[in-house]
Amino acid sequence: MEKNQVYQTAIYLRLSKDDESSGESYSISNQRQMLMNFVNNKEDLTFSAEFVDM
């Protein structure tokens, strides 16, 4: 029986120029939630890191 490959997964969040003045915005929070939901719903992915451009 072959073991399924599990991939270490990093997420990348980017602040929109429109949201620049407010620091971490709803945009970043929404991106994080959507990406983490995606990673958590895939059996072959495991979260390993987060990168944010602000």
Q: pLDDT tens for residues 27-53? A: 899 999 999 999 999 999 999 999 998
Q: pLDDT tens for residues 2-19? A: 678 999 999 999 987 765
Strands (E) in 1-54, as ranges, are 7-14, 45-53
H or E element: which one contains 26? helix 26-40
Structure tokens at 50: 């987060």
pLDDT at residue 21 greater than cutoff 80: no
Q: What is the structure's pLDDT at 2? A: 64
48 contact partners, CB below 8 Å, separation of at least 6: 8, 9, 10
Report the distance separating Cα 23 and Cα 7, nearest Å: 31
